[in-house]
Amino acid sequence: MQIRVINPNTTRSMTDKIGEAARAGASPGTEIVATQPASGPVSIEGHFDEAVSALGVADEVLAGERAGTDAYVIACFGDPGLAAARELTRAPVVGIAEAAFHVATLITPRFSVVTTLGRTVGIAEDLLRRYGFAGHCRRVRAAEIPVLDLEDDGETALERIIAEGRRAREEDDIGALVLGCGGMSDLTAHLGREIGLPVVDGVAAAVKLCESLAALGLGTSKHGELAFPRPKTFTGEFQRYSDLGGTATTAG
């Protein structure tokens, strides 16, 4: 099967890192195509960044439909554009935050999240409530690392994440730690050794969930709110979506 792993930001080094983590977690025979939008923010650190990146995610899903993609991963912890992406395809679409939360609850009743900046803590908390996992998460912690520091100042970023993970282990009464950024996906094994807890990376978790859904013959339901978008006219720079309903209805 082919899984399209979409990094919603436009930083190529992060896309490459996410692709490597996805391939490491994939089963033999699974092809990972790691992509990013042509336009958008270089990092996603707030609501506005997510709003802009969501259209890039949609464009990547539409490209995947033309290429015959079997499943999609949205590799940003805010899961930007997830519901909209699911409207565009019959294939499974899995966000890394939702995947990480699901997997964490299979190995422990309580977990904490370590994310990048404090301003994104509320976004993660909102997702926990929306997905029904708020009762399992003891705390969303910020290491106060700008996302691009994961690429540009890796050693300092790693030290801060380890320190915050150790505080979570000591203070939160948890059994596992969830990494709150796709750009942390290469740190899983090292953090597990340093912190002494299972560490859940949403990229690998999402890939495994996509493989499982495909093996079960399950895709996105087109009955109800995730039906293909209704055909309609779009104006201005969004004219390219004007035939979307007809295109999406025949794709996938």
| Residues whose CB falls within 8 Å of the CB of residue 172, separated by 6 or more in sequence, listed in order | 110, 112, 138, 139
Using CA atoms, how far apart are residues 108 and 120, in angstroms rounded to an integer? 24
Q: Where are the domains of the chain?
A: 2-96+205-250, 97-202
Question: What number of other Cβ atoms are within 10 A of residue 67's Cβ?
Answer: 10
Tens-of-pLDDT digits for all 252 residues of the chain? Answer: 999 999 999 999 999 999 999 999 999 999 999 999 999 999 999 999 999 999 999 999 999 999 999 999 999 999 999 999 999 999 999 999 999 999 999 999 999 999 999 999 999 999 999 999 999 999 999 999 999 999 887 788 999 999 999 999 999 999 999 999 999 999 999 999 999 999 999 999 999 999 999 999 999 999 999 999 999 999 999 999 998 764 454 433
What span, in angstroms and rounded, lies between the C-alpha atoms of 86 and 228? 9
The sign of the torsion formed by the CA atoms of 161, 183, 145, 114 equals negative
- Dump the DSSP string for 69-132: -SEEEE-STT-TTHHHHHHT-SS-EEEHHHHHHHHHHTT-S-EEEEES-GGGHHHHHHHHHHHT
Q: What is the pLDDT of residues 6-23, one digit of tens each?
A: 999 999 999 999 999 999
Sign, Cα dihedral of 68, 31, 20, 132: positive
For 115, other C-beta atoms within 10 Å of its C-beta total 27
pTM > 0.85: yes
Long-range contacts of 226-229 (CB under 8 A, 24+ apart): 226/83, 226/86, 226/87, 227/87, 228/87, 228/88, 229/87, 229/88
How far apart CA 139 and CA 102 sit, in angstroms, is 16
pLDDT at 244: 79
Q: Which CATH class is domain 97-202?
A: alpha beta
Same topology, domains 2-96+205-250 and 97-202? Answer is yes
Beta carbons within 8 Å of 217's beta carbon, 6+ residues apart: none
What tokens does 188 get?
A: 């899983």
DSSP 8-state secondary structure symbol assigned to residue 252: -
Looking only at the bridges linking them, the beta strands covering 111-115 and 176-179 are: parallel
Which CATH class for the 2-96+205-250 domain?
alpha beta
